[in-house]
Structure 1
Amino acid sequence: MFDRVIIIVMDSVGIGELPDAHLYGDNGANTLGHIYRNIEGFSLPTLEKLGIGNIQGTRFIKKSSAPVGCYGRAAEKSKGKDTITGHWEITGIILDKPFPTYPNGFPADLISRFEKLVGRRVLGNKAASGTEIIEELGAVHMETGYPIVYTSADSVFQIAAHEEIVPVEDLYKMCETAREMLTGEHRVARVIARPFVGKPGLFTRTAKRRDYSVEPPAAMLLDHAVEQGYCVTAVGKIYDIFAGRGISRHVHTGSNRDGLKKTKDYINENGKGIIFTNLVDFDMKYGHRNNVEGYGAALREFDNGLCSLLNCLKEKDLLILTADHGCDPTTDSTDHSREYVPILAYG
């Protein structure tokens, strides 16, 4: 019997297209396999030792002759391929219909209502890459103070603002207003604050991102754990994904490295319960930007850190590594992909 379970979500590290991937435009997607295929000599010794290459259906990933972990794959039952859907399903919530998306931007009346609520006009209102729309509209934003509103293939209402023009706390308040407004048919999965800094041509998004999610529609794993007296620790954006539900304590992180460090810090404490960590860099910094080399480097860094984390585990700890969806950086798309996700267990 285990006293504590550590769940680490390697955000977007999918391992091959699901049977219904064609319905989402994701034929042939294989995030991890294609990174192996496209980077010469690529290897992840710790994950390979745990058995990630031995999972049924994986391609291009090195197999272990004697894996030390339990391994398998999971197919998402819910409709969708976004962060909320993937994480919620890990805790037992199945969605029978996807959250609304806005490939042509949000309806004019919705934007008008938001502008009245926050007392500012907005820029953008279209589906776009976050880094690209900041480069496109950042200078105008700095001149006018108008926040940049945009979306993607996911169910998100994103608000970007320069930290020197709109203080981060004011940006968070705008997001809270949007979250309260977006109900009913416009109940998007997440409102996301996207603060950035820098000058035109040199804008950089900061680690002060915040996600404002809808609440889970039913009781789930984290709720039950807390009700039974266990400590549920959320590392990274887990607190945001579950709208604070079923969480005893939480800490935000600035990077994968920071997330691993904080996870190890909590492992080194005594106690019973769940440590639930999301490592978002794979997805946010590299998958959506089709940066194969960057994604590969982030995986190598994680693999090195994982080796150290394994040595921190206590006798009654169970480590579970998984993902929430794919985001294949080798395809033309810059959006998530509908893929199998790995399940690796060690303890």
Structure 2
Amino acid sequence: MMNIGGFVKRVIIIVVDSLGVGELPDAYLYHDEGSNTLVHIAKAMGSLQIPNLESLGLGYLVDIPEIKKVAPPLGSYGKMGERSPGKDTTTGHWEMMGIILDRPFPTFPQGFPQDLMDRFHQAIGRKSLGNKVASGTEIIQELGLEHIRTGRPIVYTSADSVFQVAAHEETIPVKELYHICQKARQLLKGEYGVARVIARPFVTRDGKFVRTERRRDFSLPPPKETVLDLARKEGFEVIGIGKIEDIFAGQGLTEAIHAKNNSQGMETTLRKTRERFAGIIMVNLVDFDTLYGHRNDVSGYARALEEFDLKLLEVLQAMREEDVLFVTADHGCDPTTESTDHSREYVPVLIYGEKIRAGVDLGTRESFADLGKTVAELLGVEGEIYGRSFAGEVMARVQN
């Protein structure tokens, strides 16, 4: 039996938010039949310049000429299905770190109940506008002027389990908006326990209302320990970059670094990779989802993938012998469909490092949690973690 634990000192997990690779068998339950974020973007563009992702084996997960199968690939590769019900960010990340939900977070397609809104208004000392399912970019155009006139925050939701609060930065300062969202988070529990309360500040630019990069998410805390918690308890550093702190409600992290966009997220990841530490870096690159997937911006999504691919090369070059890199996603968000919602899809898992065997096909994993279980085994961390590790399949040069 291979003694794997402890042979890896550092794990880097990059979550390309919404990069799905094909519909799950139960996609019809979510009205997502035919969704395939990566394939449809590549076909719509005719080609994608992503040589570094291709070198890690991405082309073996999709059978289209627009994405090359590099032979032999430098990394191991596979795709993962989601066991938990749902297709949202929180569910995907939690499952990735070992938590399987038995029921989805609640959604509110008719808006939030009046009794809840009455308590929310009492808590924040003012009434709100909206309270309906809406596109965030559209509702601020619709209600922005009334919001400025009345000082009332704009509340809206989507097909996901979210309670979103939008406010103009000159009408309700950002810190006050965060405080309003914290009040909402305190109320949104039990049957109203949405996955995330999201602060959505916006400003006026060129005569239009435009959302800023000062968004903040307030998630429910995970119901049990994740791989991040277990690693921290064992003395490892656990660094969350982007909205990782928000997704896990700050649990399991030794350091949290927020990023304004993909570029800053990757620059921070590169800087941390060059530093000396032992443990986990987990980064979420949210622009793919927020700026391009939800807005059905195919060319923007493609351009962001190509920019990410260039930065990925720098991370690969900065890695040390004891490092292992995972590139994955948390759900899909196919920008070529009529829907602007997330899509229920498989996600890629690409694994690279000097201790990783090249060209191993991991096939289709039953759960995102297989990644977390693998991370735990690589670092020698033990605990109650759902999933089936593939560390033994991909590790090279381990002791017997």
Interval of TM-score (by shorter of Structure 1 and Structure 2): over 0.9
Letter in 2 for 1:151: T
Partner of 1:238 in structure 2? 244
Give the 4+ runs in structure 1 shifted more than 4 A.
56-60
Aligned residues: 347
User: SS at the partner of 1:37?
Assistant: helix
Partner of 1:145 in structure 2? 151
Letter in 2 for 1:48: E
Larger mean CA deviation between 277-286 and 200-209 belongs to 200-209
Q: Deviations over 1:201-246 (max 9, x none)?
A: 5111111111000010011101100000000000000000000000
Matched, 1:63 2:69: yes
Matched, 1:259 2:246: no
CA distance in 1, matches of 2:61, 2:135: 33
Please point out which of 288, 294, 299 is paired with 1:293. 299
Residues 192 and 209 of structure 1 are in contact (CA less than 8 Å); yes or no, is this contact kept in structure 2?
yes
Matched, 1:95 2:101: yes
RMSD: 1.2
**Displacement of 1:66 after TM fit?**
1.4
Matched, 1:123 2:123: no
**Displacement of 1:75 after TM fit?**
0.1
Residues 47 and 67 of structure 2 are in contact (CA less than 8 Å); yes or no, is this contact kept in structure 1?
no
CA distance in 2, matches of 1:285, 1:219: 31
Residues 106 and 191 of structure 2 are in contact (CA less than 8 Å); yes or no, is this contact kept in structure 1?
yes
User: SS at the partner of 2:46?
Assistant: coil
User: SS at the partner of 1:208?
Assistant: coil
Alignment of 1:124-273 (within 5 A): 124-198=130-204, 201-273=207-279
User: SS at the partner of 1:203?
Assistant: strand
Matched, 1:80 2:86: yes
Quickly say closer, same or farther: Cα 1:345–1:202, change in 2 above 3 A: same
User: SS at the partner of 2:146?
Assistant: helix
CA distance in 2, matches of 1:61, 1:29: 17
- Percent identity for Structure 1 against Structure 2: 58
**Displacement of 1:57 after TM fit?**
6.6
Residues 33 and 59 of structure 1 are in contact (CA less than 8 Å); yes or no, is this contact kept in structure 2?
no
Unaligned segments of structure 2, at least 5 residues: 1-6, 354-400
Larger mean CA deviation between 37-46 and 51-60 belongs to 51-60
Matched, 1:111 2:109: no
User: SS at the partner of 2:130?
Assistant: strand
Residues 47 and 66 of structure 2 are in contact (CA less than 8 Å); yes or no, is this contact kept in structure 1?
no
CA distance in 2, matches of 1:139, 1:227: 49
User: SS at the partner of 2:23?
Assistant: coil
User: SS at the partner of 2:253?
Assistant: coil
Task: State TM-score, norm by structure 1.
Answer: 0.98
Residues 135 and 200 of structure 1 are in contact (CA less than 8 Å); yes or no, is this contact kept in structure 2?
no
Matched, 1:33 2:39: yes
Residues 48 and 67 of structure 2 are in contact (CA less than 8 Å); yes or no, is this contact kept in structure 1?
no
Letter in 2 for 1:304: L
Task: State TM-score, norm by structure 2.
Answer: 0.85
CA distance in 1, matches of 2:76, 2:64: 15
Matched, 1:317 2:317: no
Letter in 2 for 1:202: K
Residues 14 and 285 of structure 2 are in contact (CA less than 8 Å); yes or no, is this contact kept in structure 1?
yes
Letter in 2 for 1:345: I
Partner of 2:376 in structure 1? none
